[in-house]
Structure 1
């Protein structure tokens, strides 16, 4: 299943161009961004890039990455895991934010020191495709040195369109909002999404944290802070959301970019934005909700990842956010039959999860059955998250087995992307 790990490593060794170009001047017509985290989840809150993106720290490795030491090419996932240390396995199940403009040392340190094996391009940039590709290649070099047994890296961003589009400039289309995408015939939307996905792939991005599969009623859209207020929803009916989100996902995957329907089991009925507001609770969405049906359609269409919401759903689990809830994860895993990678919304800076320490957030998510922990808006939280996961796994064999299963799913997804 990972027969191309060695061949991809050879490709990565060739990607040694350093630096990142100047960010362009932000467009005054860009809609105001939803506040909060760059994920994700709900939004990217750093605003348009106005300065020159910083290169990687000068002490980042510039030598060719070493050859994999896990054994001969084509090792099955289970055998690859057997060759990994616990620290390396934990690194597989964390994704750290990398600012597209600004200081990146904390992000690079998380990779070098904690073997974090996945990155999320965070913020806003007008720099265009070339500088983004050089940034990605720089971080792939760091990742290949830190994780020689797994030279692959998930490189994610938020390229939904409309108010939530991280990457702009030469080589990137201006993508319409999901509301506008939903007005396109599905076949046309799929073709357009393939074009947008090809642009991402050329920049080195292999995972888009999109589409939004939340169902937002028309009469409450303006008061739905995380989704409806920013036209991130594919229309206002279940049929429209299913048609639009599935077509978008299919087009992205046609281009070789994996997709992440979000935010399970749905953020369409809440008022507050979990990025900027604590205690966001949905009292209506249950296992048979329309939004759950929309996610089921995306799962059936082939989505490789699904993102969990950090809101509380009283009809599913009234005691904890969905991202920490075994009941919510089981709804996705067992009832919908999803066997891919379940990831969190941003757990680094979201107001909804600040009552827990960064380490506890990561442990609770993995304990609930989540596979990939996103620390997008505040890269400094990746280190305590990694340490807490290692500490817990060293003390609890059952938790260590959960880490193994999660790392195995992430590695399997990477292997599929390399084919």
Structure 2
């Protein structure tokens, strides 16, 4: 996330969002009851058991369930149960816990355990549960047994061994509470002297340093420690928010006119990828020297050509919040999801849960009418399922 006091904002009352109200039932979805699976390719049937499990789950999901795997809805950290009905109605596969709390890990785990899973043939698919746990101003679980983490700027001054040890400690606490994904670490580099002019990162000390080498080393350490202790690392906010003068959560028109496709400031993201980060979060700013015509979150030049192509990333790509963010408020909720997946992305985050159904329905409808887009949806769902399998959230048969 790029901001901390998010307020749900209206995306307008387009025909799309009107038809996809959060209270609608599955009758507004194309092909909801069609669970006919394609005949597995011969190469799939001879694959290893893990790949076969992913393929079997993918083939068993209905069109609506596939779309639901690509949407992550927000719910208050103090009451994770509140999102259960939204998840059930819209087949959602992921949850983001927002807010601040010092509640116990055991209480949180009980609620997380009540979040609905999906049965897909012989596969059981449990939800990803994510949180913002960076440190400093962005530490959702704090106080009590959680303690307080300093901001990333302070963490970046620690030795590599201390940073690794400290990260391992709180990663284990997150995993014990049932949280499988941390929307961290921040790989943005804020140039020295620019901190006070950079509202999303520098103002809050969310950067590990003011040079790409320092940030890269920290990203490698934190990513390795998270992934090694049962928590998916999400490197953010690609291709970097360290040079913008506006916060995409609260402002439109955030523009970076310096970052290029070969910029040194991309190296911390590459470091996270090389260290095994399960996800990369894309920003909603515009990068005029990469794609002047589209915000990064809707840009195939940023996601497909640069991140997946030049940088070789084949994991899950997710949005920053596109439910309440001012940066995308001129685009209807459903089209935010469609345009992101068209650009090569996978997982759409909306902090306001009431936007989730519009997104899921739009994805379903577009896939039903566009064979190429259906192929993109299937590829995205497969990446999400692979990530869930890695996290122990996808099992087949006896697991």
TM-score, normalised by the number of residues in structure 2: 0.84
Match of 1:130 among 99, 106, 119: 106
SS at match of 2:168: helix
Counterpart check, 1:347 vs 2:307: no
Structure 1 position 331 matched with structure 2 position 291: no
Of Structure 1 and Structure 2, the greater strand share is in 2
Residues 1:266 and 2:240 aligned together: yes
Shift of 1:146: 9.9
Q: What is the DSSP-based 3-state SS (H/G/I as helix, E as strand, rest coil) of the residue aligned with 2:294?
A: strand
Three-state SS of the structure 2 residue aligned to 1:418 is coil
Q: Distance in 1 between matches of 2:361 and 2:109?
A: 30
1:357-410 CA-to-partner distances (Å, cap 9, x unmatched) read 10010000000000111112x110001000000010000010011000000000
Aligned to 2:285, which of 304, 311, 314?
Answer: 311
* RCO comparison, higher one (Cα < 8 Å, 6+): 2
Correspondence 1:1-400 to 2 at 5 A: 41-45=1-5, 75-101=52-78, 105=82, 107-139=83-115, 142-144=116-118, 149-329=123-303, 330-376=305-351, 378-400=352-374
1:108 deviation in Å? Answer: 2.2
Query: CA 1:146–1:384 in 2, change beyond 3 Å: closer, same or farther?
Result: farther
Partners of 1:137 and 1:45 in 2: CA distance: 27
Contact 1:173–1:196 under 8 Å retained in 2: no
Distance 1:169 1:147, change over 3 A: farther
Secondary structure of the structure 2 residue equivalent to 1:384: helix
CA distance in 2, matches of 1:260, 1:411: 16
TM-score, structure 1 as length reference: 0.80
In structure 1, runs of 5+ residues without a counterpart are: 1-40, 48-69
Judging changes above 3 Å, is the alpha-carbon distance between structure 1 residues 143 and 150 closer, same or farther for their aligned structure 2 residues? same
How far apart are the structure 2 equivalents of 1:97 and 1:381? Answer: 10
| Partner Cα distance (2:168, 2:182) in 1 | 12
Aligned length: 351
- Rounded to whole Å, the distance in 1 between the matches of 2:283 and 2:5 is 17
Gap runs ≥5 in structure 2: 8-36, 38-48, 394-399
Q: Once the two structures are superposed, what CA deviation does each residue of 1:319-358 show, in whole Å capped at 9, x if it has no partner?
A: 1110100000020001000011011110100000000010
